[in-house]
Amino acid sequence: MKAMQTKFDPQDRRYFIHSSLATTAAAAMMAHLPVTAAEASDSMTLGFSTYGSRGITTEAVIPILAKTGYDAIEITCTKGFDAAPEKVSVERRKIIRKALIDTGLKLTSIMEHTTPQESEKINDANLVRIQRTAEFVSDITEEKEVVIQTVLGGGDWENRRSLFVEQIGRWVEQTQGSPTLICIKPHRGGGMDTPEKALWIMNQLKHPKRLRMVYDYSHYIYTGLELVPTIKQAAKKTAHIAVKDTVKQDDGGFRFELPGTAGTINFAKLIKQFYALGYRGDISCEVSGMVWSQPGYDPQAAIKVCYENISKAFLLAGVPRG
């Protein structure tokens, strides 16, 4: 990745991936130091998305994440997943709520992939999903600002951008009064694939306070977009950060890997840059479907690897967690 210059140099990478037991212990100590309310407002959280814990129920994974050391959680409500609102009864919502309270794990985000289409029927169904997800959030937490994040699907940008604006505007309007932000995610290969395009959509809608973007550099690397410039471009409108590694393959394609395992993205620099620009939200470990769909995938092992790698990145960045 010569043009991007986002790899660690060999010394940094060895330190990041193969740090001593003493450094690991220091990271663990830092992660568990108590913080005051004032300190928490000047910190970030380290979270894990249940997109990567398929096979474990939402109520069961919450204590696993808390015990591992995470501060926060993103719950995946996409159709077919364990926490899809239509699959979560009133009783289960009470159990999930209690698990969040008992562990102190903060709900920062909901993953709900609803992609705008030409079909009015599909778009109306998407709107219903967004509304049900907002209701789900209200049922399981007292948090006042939880992200509902979604990609917007493929297709040509010029042909689809007006559709994106129209449907995103509906989502923002119909979830007024809920403790949620609508958060759109630029996605590699998608119709909206850069921070610039996300900002264009926001501008068309006159920058509503409840519309933000997800920053995920794994979708920008190897496309000519560099780490620091995209952070500076996106920071003021970013409400959620997802992290995972991307590896370029010999055939020109790519594959996603667990964050911090390939060393292709300098997550310490990412965290430090966002912190310097005022971001105080979540850094959420995301396990790609390219990883969890593989035979033998172990979600609990992935939870531990992600935590070890990204908690070290926080330590290297010198950024507090709250």
Pairing of strands 211-215, 282-285: unpaired
In a domain, 27, yes or no: no
Work out how many domains the chain is built from and give that number.
1
The answer to whether residue 25 sits within a structural domain is no
Which tops the pLDDT comparison, 174 or 36?
174
Residue 142 lies in a domain: yes
Residue 131 has pLDDT above 60, yes or no: yes
Of the segments 10-19, 24-33, 132-141, which one has the largest average pLDDT value?
Answer: 132-141
Task: Provide the mean pLDDT of the chain.
Answer: 90
Q: What is the pLDDT of residue 19?
A: 39
| CATH number assigned to the domain comprising residue 250 | 3.20.20.150
User: 61-103, pLDDT tens digit by residue?
Assistant: 999 999 999 999 999 999 999 999 999 999 999 999 999 999 9
Q: Take residue 125 and report the two structure tokens written for it.
A: 């169904």
pLDDT band at 250 (very low <50, low <70, confident <90, very high): confident
251, part of any domain: yes
Q: With respect to residue 2, please indicate whether it lies within any of the assigned structural domains.
A: no
Within a domain: 64: yes
| Cα 148 to Cα 134, 171, 212, 267, 304, distances in angstroms | 8, 10, 10, 23, 25
Neighbours of 161 (CB within 10 A): 18
User: Per the structure block, which two tokens stand in for 297?
Assistant: 């995938």
Is residue 305 packed enough to be buried (19+ CB in 10 Å), middle (13-18) or exposed (0-12)?
Answer: middle
Residue-wise pLDDT for 142-196, tens only, equals: 999 999 999 999 999 999 999 999 999 999 999 999 999 999 999 999 999 999 9
| Share of the chain residues as helix, strand and coil, in percent rounded to the nearest 5 | 45, 15, 35
171 in Cβ contact with 112 (< 8 Å): no
Q: Mean pLDDT over residues 237-256, rounded? A: 95
Tokens 């995209």 belong to which residue? 230
Which residue, 307, 222, 210, is CA-closest to 267?
A: 307
Q: Please give the pLDDT value at position 252.
A: 82
**Sole residue written with tokens 């096979």:** 55
Which residue range is the domain that position 216 belongs to?
10-16+38-317
pLDDT for residue 35: 45
Contact 108, 47 (CB under 8 A): yes
Cα–Cα distance, 243 to 100 (Å, whole number) = 23
The single-letter DSSP state of residue 242 is E
In a domain, 86, yes or no: yes
Predicted confidence band of residue 21 (pLDDT cuts 50, 70, 90) = very low
Residue 164 within a domain: yes
Least confident of 64-68, 120-124, 144-148, 252-256: 252-256
Q: What would the pLDDT profile of 276-299 be if each residue is shown by its tens digit?
A: 999 999 999 999 999 999 999 999
What kind and span of H or E run contains 63? Answer: helix 58-68
Residue 322 pLDDT class (50, 70, 90 cuts): confident
- pLDDT score of 40: 55
